[in-house]
Amino acid sequence: MSPPAPNLSPRTASSGAARSRTARGRERRERLLNATAELVAARGFHSVGIADIGAAAGVSGAAIYRHFENKDELLVALFDRVVDALLVGARQVVRDASSPEAALDDLIRAHVEFALRDRAIIAVYGQEANNLPVDDRRRLRRNQRLYAQIWGDVIAQLRPDLGDRALRATVHAAFGLLNSVADFDARLADEELGELLTTFALAGILPVSRPAGPA
């Protein structure tokens, strides 16, 4: 998957992003977001202060507030960056794919790449999603539903036997499998683990070929 695309969310675009228009500002903003992900995953959102984030990112306290009003806005921007990038990437995959099979394979591989690269962000979201402001939580979940719908539309072409509920369950089971890398240390190289995850996801989604019974 390509690097995260610019945020699509109104809140982020009108606040932190507006204060990060220079190349230096964008780079500093990314350092703050990356530091937030690592610290909150390790210690929990409420145990991390804005000064801790600044120190980890090499950004002074005053400079932080040029990009984010507070720690909550930092966390929301972090989640927006991830969800927006997944959504933009999935739309591009579907546009470029030569077949539903190719689209599914590319969707899975893009999500695997994200999950392996951003384990900490997946962990943070699992810990803190319910602590987000209501409007931000709704926006993020709306974009997550759009992302899941893209997967559902592709899988429906390959699994016409699935009803709506089974289709939704299949999509979210795949997400659960791929995102599980945030919860355990497989002690495998990312390349090997990524291939295993891709194989398992495809096997769980595509129809099972059963040998013909006796004549």
The mean pLDDT of 185-194, rounded to a whole number, is 92
Tens-place pLDDT, residues 40-50: 878 877 788 99
- Does residue 97 contact residue 153 with C-beta atoms inside 8 Å? no
* Distance separating alpha carbons of residues 193 and 188, to the nearest angstrom: 6
Residue 102 gets which letter from DSSP? H
For residue 128, what pLDDT is reported?
Answer: 82
Q: Length of the chain, please?
A: 215
- Does residue 92 contact residue 60 with C-beta atoms inside 8 Å? no
For residue 13, what pLDDT is reported?
Answer: 40
Tens-place pLDDT, residues 198-209: 999 999 999 876
Tens-place pLDDT, residues 142-183: 999 999 999 999 999 999 999 999 999 999 999 999 999 988
The tokens for 118 are 């951003």
Indicate the pLDDT class of residue 3, thresholds 50, 70 and 90.
very low
The mean pLDDT of 183-200, rounded to a whole number, is 93
Indicate the pLDDT class of residue 79, thresholds 50, 70 and 90.
very high
Q: Please report the domains of the chain, with CATH numbers, ordered by start residue.
A: 10-205 (1.10.357.10)
pTM: 0.79
pLDDT-above-90 percentage for the chain: 54
